[in-house]
Amino acid sequence: MNPKRLKDLQELQDLLGAQLRQQDLLNQSLTHTSYVGEGSESRLASNQRLEFLGDSVLGLVISNYLFDRHPELSEGQMTKIKAAAVSEPILCQLAQKLNLGNYILLGRGEETTGGRQRPSILSDTFEAVVAALYLDVGFEATRGFLISQFAGAIEDIKDQRHGQDYKSLLQEKVQEKTGKAPLYQVVQEIGPDHDKRFVVEVCLEERVLGRGYGSSKKEAEQAAASEALNALNSQPQE
């Protein structure tokens, strides 16, 4: 592995708050299938198997968190909250906070078509990195990392109830404060027609309040409104 790649992996480990012994394992977790066989590292395996394992680790951690922290929730309620927490939009947001897109190894085709920002690639890579952490530093350290990443989102989902109309909530909040309505615009379309992803920004005049991703414009608008609500709710009260 060349020195630049090792430096990149160290930067990512600093963001993760964990130092892995197996740098090759972390590198594999960041290797998209499109990259395999293209470069000098032709023996490098893709992250698909790690993604499979990471999905299971993530599901166990979130299920355990809900079971321990919220004894008042029924099985059905926990199932819905867990499904929302591990959905592509949430995983994509967490991957973006870690700048995972900067570290993914992509093939030339994916690189030129915006693969580093594609929600499906980012969310899958996040799961693969979770598996790398689990295999290297163990379950407890991985659980601590995941709780730090997901706890806020899980509590928001629980309090706001999965499936709530975030667009309506945002409009009420913004109109109450400013008397104006937020506007939504599609700023990017990613992927082929059969697997299209939309990127939507919600704005108030020229100020961007939030950005969302989804497999439909409606889903992306809801994700953008959710992000905007979280940002507004975290602002200090006047």
Is 8 one of the annotated active-site residues of the chain? no
**Residue of 55, 124, 136, 201 marked catalytic:** 55
* Cα Rg of the chain, angstroms: 19
**Measured between alpha carbons, how far is residue 31 from residues 14, 53, 73, 172, 188 in Å?**
19, 15, 38, 43, 24
Is 127 one of the annotated active-site residues of the chain? yes
Region at 211 (left for phi over 0; alpha for psi -120 to 50; beta for the rest): beta
Three-state SS letters, 170-214: HHHHHHHHHCCCCEEEEEEEECCHHHCEEEEEEEECCEEEEEEEE
**Residue of 110, 127, 201, 227 marked catalytic:** 127
* 3-class DSSP state of 31: strand
Q: Which of 101, 103, 99 lies closest to 9 in space, CA to CA?
A: 103
The residues that are catalytic are 55, 127
